[in-house]
Amino acid sequence: MADKEATPTTKELEFEGYKFTVDTDLIDDVEALEIIDRIENKGQIAAVVPFLSFLIGKDGYEQMKAHFVKTEGKFRATKLAEVYKIIINNFDPKD
């Protein structure tokens, strides 16, 4: 039986001109689901920070934060919420 070719699970997403890569396979991880529960069901918008750190890495999150601090003076919670929505809207469990 031939090995099944690995399919890439990363997607490049863009928010207000800032491009970042998300490993969508990680969204299906139990750890991510626990964080999503905090955001969706408990209203803990601050949980987007560990969610992003989990999906794009601590360095990826710090680079995103630095970009928005540089362009807007701060990284606003409203921006975090919008980035979260973009990620969730681009997750297709069939992938």
Average pLDDT over residues 28-36: 92
Count up the domains in the chain and report the number. Answer: 1
Q: Is residue 71 one of the residues assigned to a domain?
A: yes
pLDDT digits (tens, 9 = 90+) for 40-68: 999 999 999 999 999 999 999 999 999 99
Q: Is residue 4 one of the residues assigned to a domain?
A: no
Could you give the CA distance from residue 53 to residue 59 in angstroms, rounded to a whole number?
8
Could you give the CA distance from residue 22 to residue 2 in angstroms, rounded to a whole number?
29
Instruction: Give me the domain span that covers residue 81.
Output: 10-89
Read off the DSSP letter of residue 34.
H
Q: Is residue 31 one of the residues assigned to a domain?
A: yes
Could you give the CA distance from residue 40 to residue 59 in angstroms, rounded to a whole number?
25
- pLDDT, residue 5, reads 40
Check: pTM over 0.75? Answer yes or no. Answer: yes
The SS3 call for residue 64 is: helix
Q: Is residue 53 one of the residues assigned to a domain?
A: yes
Asked if pLDDT for residue 24 goes beyond 90, the answer is no
In angstroms, the Cα distances linking 46 to 2, 17, 21, 60, 61 are: 45, 23, 21, 17, 13
Q: How far apart are the first and last CA of the chain?
A: 23
